Amino acid sequence: MSETVKQPQAGLDEAAARTSLTPLDDAERRRRMRKVIGAAGAGHFVEWFDFGLYGTLATVISVQFFQQGNTQAALLSAFAVFGAGFVMRPLGGLFWGSIGDRLGRKTTLATVILVTSGATVVMGLLPTFDMVGLWAPFLLVIVRLVQGFAAGGESSGATTLLAEYAPSNRRGFVTSFIDVFGFAAFVVSAGLVLLFTTTLGEDALTDWGWRVLFLLALPLGLVGLYLRNKLEDTPEFQAVKAAGEVSASPLRDSFRTSWRALLFCVGFVVLKAVGHWILQTFMPSYLQTDLGYSKTLSYGATVVGLLAIATLVPFMGLLSDKIGRKPVMIAGCLGFLVLTYPTLMLMNAGNFWAAAGAMIILGVFMAAFDGAASAAMAELFPTRIRYGSMSIAYNMSVAVFGGITPYFATFLIASTGNKFAPAFYVMAAALISLIVVLRARETAKAPLPS
C-alpha cells in the first residue's frame, strides 16, 4: 500500500482535471454519486439475493434436490453444491476482470447482472429429485457454476466502480455501500423466507414457495440492468482511456507489476469471505440442525444480525475515512478472534434473543472489517489494472476460504462432535487477516494510484 497523502481536491474533480472535463459542483457531485451507488448496489443486491436465498433455504434445498434418508448427509450435499459455485469464481474473475480493464466498468457490470439474474431464475424452475432423480442435483450444480462464473466479476467490479467515482476523503464511506447492499440482500432474502414460512407454513415453503423466491430475481435483475446501462464509465477509466494507457493484457500486468498488492488483497479477503458465509449462509441451518431452533426463530435471528451489519457498515466506512483503514480492520479481526467461540456458546442458550444477540455481536465486527476493507483493496492497484487485479485476488480468496465455509463448518461439527467447532475456523481466518493488515501500509485519504 502507498503512504497516506492528504489531498484538498479529490475524486471526480481529480479525474476531471486529467480528462479536461469541467469539475462538478457539490450538488451535481452528490446527485451523480447517489446514481452511481444505486447502480452499483442494485446489481450487487441481485447477486447476493440469490446467494442469500440458497443459504437460508439450504435445508429446503437438501430436501428437494437430494435423496433423503440422512438429514446431515443431504445438508452436506447442499452445501457442497453451494461451494461448487465458488470453484468458478476465479475463472469468472479472470474473464470479467480482463474485460473490465480493457472495455470499461459499465459494459462489464451490465453483462454480469444479466447472467446472474438469468441463472437465478433458472434455479427456480429446476426439477426436483422426486421428478428426475439424479438429474436434479446435476442440473443444480450446472446452474451454481454459471452463477459462480458471473459472481466472479460482480463484487470487485462494483467496488472498482464506486472507488473510482468517490472523493478520496470519502472513499471508505462510498465503497462501504457495496456491503450495505450485499447484506441488505441477505436481510431481504432471509426476511422473505421468514414471511413465507409464517404466512404459508413450512410445508408450503418446502413444496413450492422456494420457487417463487428465486423467480423474484427476474424483476430485480431488470431494474439493475436498467440502472447500470444509464451510467457513464468512471472518470478514472475515462482518463486512462483518453491518455491511451489502457492495458492490452491487464492480467499479465497484474502479476508482473502488482504481485505484492495481490497478496495483500488475498489476505484482506480471508476474513471477509469466511465471516460472510458463516453469518449469511451457515447460521440459519446451524441454528436449526445443531442448536434445535425452529425455522422461524433461526430465520428471525439471522435477519436481525444481518440488518445490524447493513446498518453499521457505512458508519464504519466513514470511521475508516477519519482514522484510517488499518485501525478499523484490526478491530474487526480482534473481535472475531476473541469473541467467536463465546458467541456460539451464547446461541446455545436456545432462545431467540440469545441467538439474535450473538449475531449482532459478530455483526459489529463484520461491519468494522467490511467498512474499511473495500476501499483498502481498491487503493492497492492502479486504475489500468484495478478491476482485473481485484477480481483475481478477491475470487481466489473467496474460492479457497469462503466457498468451503458452510461445508467445512458442518463437517467440523460432524467429525468432532463439538457444535462450537466452527468457531476455530473463523478464528483462524481472523488471525490470517490480522497479520496481513498489520503488515500493510495505510492508504486512507490518498488519491487512487493512477
At what angle are helices 89-103 and 135-151 packed, to 10 degrees? 30
Percent of the chain at pLDDT > 70 equals 92
pLDDT at residue 213 tops 60: yes
pLDDT of residue 230: 84
Residues 6+ apart with CB under 8 A from 441: 1, 2, 3
pLDDT of residue 25: 55
Which of 152, 176, 150 shows the shortest CA–CA distance to 162? 176
Q: What is the mean pLDDT of residues 297-315?
A: 90
pLDDT at residue 233 tops 60: yes
Other CB atoms within 10 Å distance of the CB of residue 351: 12
pLDDT tens-place string over residues 272-283: 999 988 987 788
pLDDT at residue 142 tops 80: yes
pLDDT tens-place string over residues 250-260: 889 999 999 99
pLDDT at residue 173 tops 50: yes
Per DSSP, the three-state class of 231 is: coil
- The more confidently predicted of residues 314 and 12 is 314
Which of 29, 43, 32 shows the shortest CA–CA distance to 117? 43
Cα–Cα distance for residue pair 31/64, rounded to 1 Å: 46
Q: What is the mean pLDDT of residues 80-95?
A: 83
- The more confidently predicted of residues 350 and 262 is 262
- The more confidently predicted of residues 46 and 325 is 325
Q: What's the burial of 21, exposed, middle or buried (CB within 10 Å: 0-12/13-18/19+)?
A: middle
Give the angle 209-178-104 at the CA atoms, nearest 5°: 110
CA distances from 88 to 65, 85, 91, 121, 300 (A): 21, 6, 5, 19, 31
Give the angle 329-331-337 at the CA atoms, nearest 5°: 105
- The more confidently predicted of residues 132 and 29 is 132
Q: What is the mean pLDDT of residues 166-194?
A: 88
Assess contact for 221 and 116: CB atoms under 8 A: yes
pLDDT of residue 33: 85
Q: What is the mean pLDDT of residues 204-229?
A: 88
Torsion, Cα 29 34 39 40, to 10 degrees, reads 90
Domain ranges in the chain are 22-439
pLDDT at residue 184 tops 50: yes
Question: What confidence category does residue 176 fall into, taking pLDDT thresholds of 50, 70 and 90?
Answer: very high
Which of 85, 112, 124 shows the shortest CA–CA distance to 218? 124
pLDDT tens-place string over residues 8-57: 344 444 444 434 344 445 667 677 888 899 888 887 888 788 877 887 78
Question: What confidence category does residue 122 fall into, taking pLDDT thresholds of 50, 70 and 90?
Answer: very high
Question: What confidence category does residue 420 fall into, taking pLDDT thresholds of 50, 70 and 90?
Answer: very high
pLDDT of residue 126: 93
Of the options 1.20.1250.20, 3.30.420.280, 3.40.50.800, 3.40.50.720, the CATH number for the domain spanning 22-439: 1.20.1250.20
pLDDT of residue 20: 37
Q: What is the mean pLDDT of residues 330-342?
A: 97
pLDDT of residue 130: 86
pLDDT of residue 46: 83
Helix ranges, 243-349 (H): 250-257, 259-277, 283-289, 295-323, 325-347
Range in 73-87, 116-130, 165-179, 303-317 with the lowest mean pLDDT? 73-87
Which of 155, 161, 125 shows the shortest CA–CA distance to 45? 155
pLDDT of residue 185: 87
pLDDT at residue 371 tops 90: yes
Which of 185, 144, 177 shows the shortest CA–CA distance to 302? 185
CA distances from 416 to 170, 343, 345, 422 (A): 46, 19, 16, 10
Name the one residue in this structure whose C-alpha cell is 480528462.
19
pLDDT of residue 10: 43
pLDDT tens-place string over residues 62-71: 888 887 666 6
| Span between the terminal Cα atoms of the chain, in Å | 13
Cα–Cα distance for residue pair 100/106, rounded to 1 Å: 8
Cα–Cα distance for residue pair 327/307, rounded to 1 Å: 24
Cα–Cα distance for residue pair 343/135, rounded to 1 Å: 40
Range in 44-48, 151-155, 209-213, 371-375 with the lowest mean pLDDT? 44-48
Instruction: Please report, as a single letter, which amino acid is at residue 391.
Output: S
pLDDT of residue 15: 46
